Amino acid sequence: MDLRAALAAHRLVAIVRGSDPEAALRTVLTLADEGIELIEVSLTTEDALTVIERARKALGPGRPLGAGTVLTADDARAVHRAGAGFAVTPCLGEGMSTARELGLPVLAGVMTPTEIIGARALGAEALKIFPAAQAGGPGYLKALRGPFPHEVFVPVGGVDEAAARAYLAAGATAVGIGSPLVGDAADGGGAAALRARARAFRTVVREATS
């Protein structure tokens, strides 16, 4: 898949992590049903590889489905076998390198300019500013865009609706959103609240894009 184009088109990555594999799968499918096109299942989710496998079968081969918290070479090989179409890392490391060797596009976790240069040298398609809130929020992103005006930045960490608006206005290509969107759905929480949050965040993205 063309990860850079997908991020530019959809501008939102939903991050699913939870303690209940069945609930995590339902969460992925509910988000997809609500029109969230880019979904990442974190490997910190209980039985994450099975969730990814089952989600891939349910969504079909054409729907973007990512695996997050890919730290090691074994992680990268496992998510590739499970059917992930892209990998997300919190940092640079062998998980990223092996994912690229396997042909998976990577959204690589970075914080500093040095890490940005390193990630691009290793073949990262896009750059996940993580943890974005602790790094300095939208102001930090705006500062990074000075020396790196053409990079695909995706802030992740503490991104609620207000922060999403601010990051997109500051030049983020997309935002990655975990608990402010997913809430407790992947732990067994209700689907109605998840659907409402998904619609609210889609509105944020639509307004930022228009």
Of 143, 156, 152, 74, the C-alpha closest to 119 is 152
Question: Each residue of 1-32: b (16+ CB within 10 Å) or e?
Answer: bebbebbeebbbbbbbbbebbebbbbbbbbbb
Helix %, strand %, coil % for the chain, to 5? 50, 15, 35
Q: Tell me how far apart the alpha carbons of residues 102 and 48 are, in angstroms, rounded to a whole number.
A: 19
Residues 6+ apart with CB under 8 A from 79: 43, 49, 52, 67, 70, 87, 99, 104
Q: Tell me how far apart the alpha carbons of residues 31 and 195 are, in angstroms, rounded to a whole number.
A: 7
Q: Tell me how far apart the alpha carbons of residues 164 and 204 are, in angstroms, rounded to a whole number.
A: 7
Q: Tell me how far apart the alpha carbons of residues 108 and 90 are, in angstroms, rounded to a whole number.
A: 7
Please say whether the beta carbons of 82 and 57 come within 8 A: no
Please say whether the beta carbons of 15 and 176 come within 8 A: yes
Catalytic residue numbers, as ranges = 40, 128
